[in-house]
Amino acid sequence: MCADGFSLMKDARREAWAVEDISVYRQNLCAVSCLRVLVCGSIGYGGLSTMKKVQSFLGRRGFSVIDQTAAWMDYSGVEDFRGKRDLVELIVKRDLKAVKEADVVVAVCEASSFGTAVEMFVAKQMGKRVVLFSRKPVRSPWPVKFSDRSAISMRDLLKILSGFATSSDG
């Protein structure tokens, strides 16, 4: 075979691989964008900024992020919820609705949160996947028990969620 024929064959193979890679990328992108992810965490104890960073990170990578804080106020400044029944009802109702809508719950567990614990429990009861995310040590067995996987970095989280998105049962 002449050099030109060999070169053309290599180019054709390379082009076929590129087309295959693009096809796989498109399939993965579609799977990722179809995966509805809820990021929950401690709002009352300073975790809102981390939640927002995780939401933004996942959104930029094509995930469909459910933002339960988008349509209402940041309640991180509320010192005591007693006597604020209407606000309590609004928050709990909205958060539980978000859990129901999600395919996967990412629980940011860098600070304690009663709400996050309940959201994890409810998600598991509904058969949802739960990923514990914390760059810090997790000093309680409870979030570990009620999660399917754990991530200690954004990269780990992306890998786990991408795996969920492309798996047949995900």
Cβ neighbours around 72 below 10 Å, total: 11
Per-residue pLDDT of the chain (170 residues; tens, 9 = 90+): 444 444 444 555 545 444 444 444 445 555 577 899 999 998 877 778 899 999 999 999 989 999 887 666 667 778 899 999 998 998 899 999 999 999 999 999 998 889 999 999 999 999 999 999 999 999 999 999 999 999 999 999 999 999 988 775 54
Q: Domain ranges for the chain, please list them.
A: 1-34, 35-166
Written out in words, the top-level CATH class of the domain with range 35-166 is alpha beta
With a CB cutoff of 8 Å and minimum separation 6, the contacts of 144 are 132, 138, 150
Distance CA 163, CA 104 (A): 12
The pTM score is 0.78
Do 56 and 48 contact (CB within 8 A), yes or no?
no
Q: Which two tokens stand for residue 140?
A: 């309680």
DSSP-assigned beta bridge partners for residue 105: 38, 130
